[in-house]
Amino acid sequence: MTASNREALLDPKLLSSTVANNAVTVGSGEKITLDSAFVANLHTSDVTVTAYIVPSGGTAGDATNACLPAMTIPAGQAVSLTGYLSGIVLEEVGSSLQLDASVDAKLFCAVYGRRETV
């Protein structure tokens, strides 16, 4: 197994309210270890974010997949999600971390971790 350095798994971007657009997905021959993440609310109102660990072929909206239930991010504030996501390992090809924003293009987010060749 070869480990790569820590990298941006989800490049800093505005989250879409379409969950599949906000995914970090395991490819063939790799596993992903999540290290840290943050979300900043650029909106004038509170916005919620929900994080899901979705098995291959699964659905993000399934409450059993939520690793971070809906968290309210106050207007104009930034919040670390590291305590919720750090150390989670995704190993199944096609499994993913998916982030759901309650409002389109108002949460700025980045997710960091390591991809390892297995």
pLDDT above 90 for 97: yes
Local confidence band at 27 (pLDDT 50, 70, 90 cut-offs): very high
Domain encompassing residue 29: 2-117
pLDDT above 90 for 66: no
Total structural domains in the chain?
1
Strand, coil or helix: 9: strand
Local confidence band at 110 (pLDDT 50, 70, 90 cut-offs): very high
Per-residue pLDDT, 78? 97
Task: Write out pLDDT tens, residues 53-63.
Answer: 999 988 887 77
How many whole angstroms separate alpha carbon 88 and alpha carbon 37? 12
How many whole angstroms separate alpha carbon 44 and alpha carbon 36? 25
Burial 34-64 (b: 16+ CB within 10 A, else e): bbebebbbebeeebebbbbbbeeebebeeee
Q: What percent of the chain has pLDDT over 70?
A: 95
Task: Write out pLDDT tens, residues 11-26.
Answer: 888 888 877 667 899 9
Per-residue pLDDT, 105? 93
**CATH (domain of 11):** 2.60.120
Global confidence as pTM: 0.87
* Dihedral Cα 12, 16, 96, 93, nearest 10 deg: -100
How many whole angstroms separate alpha carbon 98 and alpha carbon 10? 10
Strand, coil or helix: 82: helix
